[in-house]
């Protein structure tokens, strides 16, 4: 095998958002022979010494790059990840960008494997709705088209035994997957150390006509997942591949939010809320929470909808949005502490994150011999030893 390209060692570290000091610690290069770990890593990146295979394997893992990348003649060109629809916070760091980029690379690779599998097995079907809509036709028209395509029933969505729970989302996800889209819940890159905050990424869409993928950041509240799913679905109908953040600062993001809002909370249902225009914040919050509970949506979504309908002003919307954001952060911390020692099994959690469509496809292809356990593991993002147990309940 040819020698490692030292220029790629440096490129891989920098695109992972790591300094020399941080990378040396993660890779396990400590001080020795009068040099710090960072200095020893710099020597490797300068080509003075070839890294050992164990060190190279750790680099591949920490930098989230295939091992063969380090032997290429030059750094690979960036994979097209679509448009960046986000309005990012001021303190957005290079490491945050590296984590988002790594997630997009991994999911796109999985999506390409799924598409290749479908094409090889002669099951590739062009989905007519992908890229079928022109934004100039308006949010109402797209909302109607989505409802028709999904055979979506708002009352079925709201018919849940657990107000505020994920059952409405489960119904919506089922309808979206039945239309041919793979829906994944991902909020990190394998551990809590790589958690992606909602401010950095709320969801993204891969608008492929054969194997479209939607990813939702599961670090967000469960009641917000349905809104995000419909927002990303709007991007699929527009034929747009890209990543969305928590703030809708561009016309297309506002448009996709409006589409999702029209589906989950029609304007006619808010016609009696005009008295909120002059109401104090406490009254607005109480009313928002009542509407959200009855409609199986998040408080923040109701607040946004009231603002877009002109029923509360921008200052009130900003105030209640900030209130709900702080409330969610507190609740999330409390939930994590409460559930740290008990909770569903690894397989239950993983199945929920992967969705039935991807699990059923993997199980069927494994049974038919069209997919090896190692390839299935790559598609599902798990170890090969977990594949059969993970897919055994997928019908």
- Tens digit of pLDDT for each residue in 95-139? 677 788 888 888 988 898 999 999 999 999 999 999 999 999 999
Q: How far apart are CA 207 and CA 80, in angstroms?
A: 13
Specify the pairing of strand 182-185 against strand 203-206: unpaired
Locate all alpha helices (DSSP H) within the chain, ordered by sequence.
Answer: 6-15, 20-27, 37-45, 53-63, 94-120, 139-150, 154-158, 167-178, 222-238, 251-264, 281-295, 299-308, 314-339, 346-354, 356-367, 373-380, 387-391
Position with higher pLDDT, 90 vs 33: 33
Average the pLDDT over 44-73 and give the result.
88
Who contacts 55 (Cβ-Cβ below 8 Å, separation ≥6)? 27, 28, 29, 44
Question: Does residue 332 or residue 282 have the better pLDDT?
Answer: 282
Residue 212, pLDDT score: 97
Q: What is the pLDDT of residue 165?
A: 47
pLDDT band at 326 (very low <50, low <70, confident <90, very high): confident
Where does the pLDDT of residue 240 fall: very low under 50, low under 70, confident under 90, or very high at 90 and above? very high
Q: What percent of the chain has pLDDT over 70?
A: 90
Dist CA 96 CA 108 (whole Å) = 18
CA-based angle 140:142:147, to the nearest 5? 95
Sheet with 213-216: list strands edge to edge. 83-84, 242-244, 203-206, 213-216, 182-185
* CB 39, CB 75: distance < 8 Å: no
Pick from 324, 350, 34, 64: nearest CA to 189: 64
At residue 184 the predicted structure's pLDDT band, cuts being 50, 70 and 90, is very high
Average pLDDT over residues 157-169: 69
Q: Is the pLDDT of residue 2 over 80?
A: no
Give yes or no for residue 327 having a pLDDT over 90. no
Higher pLDDT, 181 or 87: 181
Structure tokens at 24: 């040396």
Q: What is the structure's pLDDT at 139?
A: 97
What whole-number distance in Å separates Cα of residue 222 and Cα of residue 300?
A: 12
- Cα distance between residue 332 and residue 78, in whole Å: 35
pLDDT for residue 193 is more than 90: no
- Round to whole Å and give the CA distance between 284 and 269: 16
Coil, strand or helix at 185: strand
d(CA 301, CA 258): 10
| 102's tokens | 């790594």
* pLDDT higher than threshold 60 for residue 179: yes
- The 10s digit of each residue's pLDDT in 349-366 is 999 999 999 999 999 999
């Amino acid at each position: 095998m040819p020698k490692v390209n030292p220029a790629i060692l440096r490129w891989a570290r920098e695109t992972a958002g790591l300094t020399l000091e941080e990378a040396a610690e993660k890779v396990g290069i400590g001080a020795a022979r009068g040099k710090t770990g960072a200095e020893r890593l710099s020597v490797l990146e300068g080509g003075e010494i070839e890294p050992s295979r164990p060190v190279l394997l750790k680099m591949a893992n920490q930098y989230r790059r295939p091992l063969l990348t380090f032997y290429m003649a030059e750094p690979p060109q960036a994979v097209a990840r679509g448009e960046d629809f986000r309005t990012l916070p001021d303190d957005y760091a290079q490491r945050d960008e590296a984590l988002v980029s790594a997630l997009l690379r991994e999911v796109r690779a999985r999506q390409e494997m799924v598409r290749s599998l479908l094409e090889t097995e002669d099951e590739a079907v062009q989905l007519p709705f992908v890229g079928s809509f022109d934004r100039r036709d308006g949010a109402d028209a797209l909302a109607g088209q989505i409802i028709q395509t999904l055979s979506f029933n708002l009352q079925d969505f709201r018919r849940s035994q657990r107000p505020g729970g994920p059952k409405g989302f489960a119904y919506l996800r089922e309808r979206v997957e039945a239309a041919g889209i793979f829906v994944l819940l991902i909020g990190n890159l394998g551990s809590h150390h790589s958690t992606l905050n909602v401010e950095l990424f709320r969801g993204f869409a891969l608008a492929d006509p054969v194997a479209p993928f939607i990813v939702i950041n599961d670090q967000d509240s469960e009641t917000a997942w349905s809104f995000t799913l419909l927002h990303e679905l709007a991007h699929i109908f527009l034929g747009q591949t890209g990543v969305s953040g928590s703030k809708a600062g561009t016309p297309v993001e506002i448009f996709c939010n409006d589409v999702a809002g029209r589906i989950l909370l029609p304007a006619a249902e808010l016609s009696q809320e005009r008295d909120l225009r002059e109401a104090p914040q406490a009254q607005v919050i109480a009313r928002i929470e009542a509407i959200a509970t009855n409609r199986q949506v998040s408080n923040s979504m109701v607040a946004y909808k009231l603002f877009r309908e002109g029923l509360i002003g921008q200052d009130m919307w900003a105030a209640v949005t900030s209130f709900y954001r702080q409330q969610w952060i507190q609740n999330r911390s409390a939930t994590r502490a409460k559930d740290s020692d008990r909770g569903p099994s690894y397989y239950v959690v993983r199945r929920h994150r992967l969705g039935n469509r991807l699990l059923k496809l993997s199980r069927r292809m494994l049974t038919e011999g069209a997919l090896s356990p190692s390839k299935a593991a790559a598609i599902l993002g798990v170890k090969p030893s977990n594949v059969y147990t993970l897919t055994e309940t997928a019908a």
